[in-house]
Chains A and B, each alone.
Chain A
Amino acid sequence: SQQGEEDPQALSIQEGENATMNCSYKTSINNLQWYRQNSGRGLVHLILIRSNEREKHSGRLRVTLDTSKKSSSLLITASRAADTASYFCATDNSNSGYALNFGKGTSLLVTP
Chain B
Amino acid sequence: NAGVTQTPKFRVLKTGQSMTLLCAQDMNHEYMYWYRQDPGMGLRLIHYSVGEGTTAKGEVPDGYNVSRLKKQNFLLGLESAAPSQTSVYFCASSYSERDGNEKLFFGSGTQLSVL
- Report which A residues bind B (CB closer than 8 A): 1-2, 30-31, 33, 35, 40-45, 48, 50, 88, 90, 92-93, 96-105
The docked-state distance in angstroms from the alpha carbon of A101 to that of B98 is 17
The docked-state distance in angstroms from the alpha carbon of A40 to that of B110 is 10
B residues in contact with A97, CB < 8 Å:
31, 33, 48-50, 94, 96
Majority secondary structure, B binding face: strand
Residue from A43, A45, A48, A103 in contact with B90 in the complex, judged by beta carbons closer than 8 Å: A43
If A33-B103, A97-B94, A100-B104 touch, whether A2 touches B33 (CB-CB below 8 Å) is: no
Residue from B44, B98, B106 in contact with A43 in the complex, judged by beta carbons closer than 8 Å: B106
- Number of A-B residue pairs, CB cutoff 8 Å, is 71
Residue from B31, B42, B50, B96 in contact with A102 in the complex, judged by beta carbons closer than 8 Å: B42
Cβ-closest chain B residue relative to A40: B109
B residues in contact with A50, CB < 8 Å:
100
The docked-state distance in angstroms from the alpha carbon of A28 to that of B104 is 20
Among A48, A88, A96, chain B packs the most CB atoms within 10 A around the CB of A96
Residue from A2, A88, A105 in contact with B44 in the complex, judged by beta carbons closer than 8 Å: A2
The docked-state distance in angstroms from the alpha carbon of A42 to that of B100 is 22
Contact A42 B107 (CB under 8 A): yes
> 20 A-B residue contacts at CB 8 Å?
A2-B42, A30-B98, A33-B103, A33-B104, A35-B104, A41-B109, A43-B106, A44-B106, A45-B105, A48-B102, A96-B48, A96-B58, A97-B31, A97-B49, A98-B98, A99-B31, A99-B33, A102-B43, A104-B42, A105-B42
Within 84-111 of B, Cβ neighbours of A (below 8 Å) are at: 90, 92, 94-96, 98, 100, 102-109
Contact A88 B109 (CB under 8 A): no
The docked-state distance in angstroms from the alpha carbon of A101 to that of B40 is 15
Residue from B31, B98, B102, B108 in contact with A42 in the complex, judged by beta carbons closer than 8 Å: B108
